[in-house]
């Protein structure tokens, strides 16, 4: 009986010694973040005109018609995605003053276009209370990028008259 117990103890000791192996693994990586640099854009006074889209240049204000590339446009925001592509979500902040019928287009390219020819844009329109509301797209107001890029802003005054004071919030 004593011999059987010693053998049992020896087996347990052998299993314990064989599980005393250790290994080392290394975890590497880099934590990155998307950065969005936004500049305030002041258009000062704009003429009421349904035929043009106004945009900011380094020398003042320019204008183009629909589907025409803006020359010398200053970006509203520069986006550096953490992983070189992604989306920017657009929302409206506390200041929402936009005359009824006036429209702001936020776009990833320097060409104001209709939503049917360029669905990758966000449109903000002044409602009957002269308040800005996102009107396109109706849900998920975001612009998708395949690479780092810029966000441009255009204003179409239409026949509206009044002040424009809209806070645009961008997040990624």
Give the angle subtended at the CA of 43 by the CAs of 119 and 86, to the nearest 5°.
Answer: 35
Q: What are 79-111's pLDDT values in tens digits? A: 999 888 999 999 999 999 999 999 999 999 999
Output 164 or 9, whichever has higher pLDDT. Answer: 164
Is 25 within a domain?
A: no
The domain in which residue 139 lies consists of 34-171
Is 1 within a domain?
A: no
- Cβ atoms of 60 and 73 within 8 Å: the answer is no
Is 96 within a domain?
A: yes
CA distance 150 to 165: 22
Q: What are 143-165's pLDDT values in tens digits? A: 999 999 999 999 999 888 899 99
CA distance 67 to 48: 19
Could you write out the DSSP letters of every residue in 2-52?
HHHHHHHHHHHHHHHHHT---------------EEEE-----------TT-
Mean model confidence pLDDT for the chain: 85
Which residues lie across from 153 on neighbouring strands? 106
**Domain tally for the chain?**
1
Is 16 within a domain?
A: no
Is 127 within a domain?
A: yes
Per-residue pLDDT, 160? 87
Is 167 within a domain?
A: yes
pTM recorded for the entire structure: 0.80
CA distance 108 to 86: 12
Is 123 within a domain?
A: yes
Is 162 within a domain?
A: yes
């Amino acid at each position: 009986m004593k011999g059987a117990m010693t053998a049992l103890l020896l087996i347990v000791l052998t299993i314990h010694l064989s599980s005393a192996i250790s290994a080392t693994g290394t975890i590497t990586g880099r934590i990155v973040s998307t950065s969005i640099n936004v500049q305030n854009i002041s258009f000062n006074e704009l003429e009421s005109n349904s035929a043009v889209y106004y945009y900011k240049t380094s020398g003042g204000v320019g204008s183009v018609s629909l589907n025409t590339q803006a020359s010398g446009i200053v970006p509203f925001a520069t986006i550096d995605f953490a992983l070189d592509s992604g989306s920017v979500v657009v929302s409206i902040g506390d200041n929402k003053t936009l005359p009824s019928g006036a429209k702001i287009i936020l776009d990833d390219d320097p060409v104001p276009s209709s939503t049917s020819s360029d669905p990758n844009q966000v449109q903000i329109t002044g409602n009957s209370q002269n308040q800005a509301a996102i009107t396109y797209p109706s849900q998920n107001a975001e612009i998708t990028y395949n690479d780092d890029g810029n966000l441009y802003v255009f204003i179409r005054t239409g026949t509206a008259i009044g002040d424009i004071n809209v806070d645009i919030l961008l997040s990624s």
